[in-house]
Amino acid sequence: MKVLITGAGGFIGRALVAALLDAANSGAGAIRPSRLILLDERFGDVPTDSRVQPVNGSLTDPDIVARSLEGGVDLVFHLASVPGGAAEQNFELGLRVNLEGTLALLEALRLNCGAQRPRLVFASTIGVYGTPLPALIDERTEPAPTMSYGAQKLMGEILVRDYGRRGFIQGCSLRLPGIVARPPAASGMLSAFMSDIIRSLSAGQAFVCPVGAEGRAWWMSRICVVRNLIHAATLPSDVLRRQGTWLLPVLYASLGEVVSAIGRVIKRDVTGLVRYEPDAALQSQFASLPPLQCPASVAAGFASDGSLENLVQRALEGP
């Protein structure tokens, strides 16, 4: 099986690469790539493995995309994107990568893979719902993005669905929540505080939280989202024909509840390390969220982290 990962050098991409190689080495799991093509503009450490082929370049470069697809691929994880804050600040860049890059990839798959009909798993976002949100988000909630990032991802979902309908690919989209704990570096993620609070408090460092303790959010670890991405890649074709866009089960918790869980995991009271200074815009966008229910996704095998303690422990694993 030949697998392409766009955005392979990113926070989620690196963990996905590691998980796929582990599965291939152990002989476990349904996806055991014989060739793993990693596409990104920059990489840190690339695994030393004969199956790994890094391709350094932009998703918006037709030659780079063509080189990534040379000889065809069986499966694509499309993770590459300009995240929410960065896409809002630089409209042209967000449009070029998030929308035009997705379209270019789909067209290249249509033209280069032919009868292979590769499976494509598209990383979309809960940002498609915008603000203000209704009292409940479920699988019948209509998207209404209020940021360019959400609008671009929603258009990507529509394209994935249409290319699947036409028989060019077998496609599905996952609407990802905030994923923790991202490295403490400029990422363009407006939700970065969700990672920073776990990392800082677990290290015994004081933290100024830009949302209130009562602010409720949707939480998922990197390990959990990687498992859900891999699960999406193994869904039966008839399931994808019935439903191509999936909400993911999340942990629904306040910042204060997560702070308490951090203390339980590290066996130290960390509540005194936090000072809450709510920013109205961030509170509205990321910490005033309603409950999220997705029974169809749960029935299809998608899963949350299970508990806040699991979330915190998993968030602290890996680079």
Which range among 26-30, 104-108, 140-144, 255-259 shows the weakest confidence by mean pLDDT?
A: 26-30
**CA distance readout (Å), 213 to 142, 200, 260, 270:** 29, 16, 11, 13
What is the pLDDT, as a whole number, of residue 244? 94
Nearest to 79 by CA among 183, 19, 5, 157: 5
What is the pLDDT, as a whole number, of residue 236? 94
- 300 domain-assigned: no
The tokens for 254 are: 């306040």
The tokens for 96 are: 């070029």
Which range among 22-36, 161-175, 237-251 shows the weakest confidence by mean pLDDT?
A: 22-36
Question: Is residue 137 located within the same domain as residue 34?
Answer: yes
- 296 domain-assigned: no
Confidence class for position 188, pLDDT limits 50, 70, 90: low
Distance CA 286, CA 21 (A): 34
Catalytic residue among 149, 163, 252, 276: 149
Distance CA 21, CA 93 (A): 32
Question: Is residue 9 located within the same domain as residue 112?
Answer: yes
Domain ranges, residue 264: 180-218+251-291+305-315
- Token pair 């392979």 in the structure block, residue: 8
What is the pLDDT, as a whole number, of residue 28? 78
pLDDT at residue 19 is higher than 70: yes
Confidence class for position 284, pLDDT limits 50, 70, 90: confident
Question: Is residue 208 located within the same domain as residue 273?
Answer: yes
Question: Is residue 103 located within the same domain as residue 208?
Answer: no
What is the pLDDT, as a whole number, of residue 114? 67
Question: Is residue 111 located within the same domain as residue 200?
Answer: no
Judge residue 275's burial from the number of C-beta atoms within 10 Å of its C-beta, 0-12 exposed, 13-18 middle, 19 or more buried. exposed
What is the pLDDT, as a whole number, of residue 286? 85
What type of residue is 75? L
Q: What is the 3-state secondary structure (H, E, C) of the chain?
A: CEEEEECCCCHHHHHHHHHHHHHHHHCCCCCCCCEEEEEECCCCCCCCCCCEEEEECCCCCHHHHHHHCCCCCCEEEECCCCCHHHHHHCHHHHHHHHHHHHHHHHHHHHHHHHHHCCEEEEEEEHHHHCCCCCCCECCCCCCCCCCHHHHHHHHHHHHHHHHHHCCCCEEEEEEECEEECCCCCCCCCHHHHHHHHHHHHHCCCCEEECCCCCCEEEEEEHHHHHHHHHHHHCCCHHHHHHCCEEECCCEEEEHHHHHHHHHHHHCCCCHHHEEECCCHHHHHHHCECCCECCHHHHHCCCCCCCCHHHHHHHHCCCC
pLDDT tens sequence across 111-163: 987 677 999 999 999 999 998 899 999 999 999 999 999 999 999 999 999 99
Residue 277 sits in a domain whose CATH number is 3.90.25.10
- In percent, how much of the chain has pLDDT > 70? 97
Interacting residues of 228 by C-beta distance below 8 A, sequence separation 6+:
174, 248, 302, 303
pLDDT at residue 220 is higher than 80: yes
Overall domain count for the chain = 2
Question: Is residue 161 located within the same domain as residue 21?
Answer: yes
What is the pLDDT, as a whole number, of residue 68? 95
Which range among 37-41, 178-182, 221-225, 254-258 shows the weakest confidence by mean pLDDT?
A: 178-182
Q: Are 105 and 171 in contact (CB under 8 A)?
A: no
Question: Is residue 127 located within the same domain as residue 225?
Answer: yes
Question: Is residue 265 located within the same domain as residue 230?
Answer: no
Q: What is the mean pLDDT of the chain?
A: 93
- 110 domain-assigned: yes
Catalytic status, residue 163: no
Question: Is residue 200 located within the same domain as residue 90?
Answer: no
pLDDT tens sequence across 48-103: 899 999 999 999 999 999 999 998 999 999 999 998 888 999 999 999 999 999 99
What is the pLDDT, as a whole number, of residue 30? 82
Question: Is residue 19 located within the same domain as residue 73?
Answer: yes
Confidence class for position 196, pLDDT limits 50, 70, 90: very high
What is the pLDDT, as a whole number, of residue 105? 96
The tokens for 126 are: 């809960």
* Per-residue b or e along 244-253, where b marks 16 or more CB atoms closer than 10 Å to that residue's CB: bbbbbbbbbb
What is the pLDDT, as a whole number, of residue 256? 97
Confidence class for position 189, pLDDT limits 50, 70, 90: low
Question: Is residue 45 located within the same domain as residue 109?
Answer: yes
pLDDT tens sequence across 200-216: 999 999 999 999 999 99
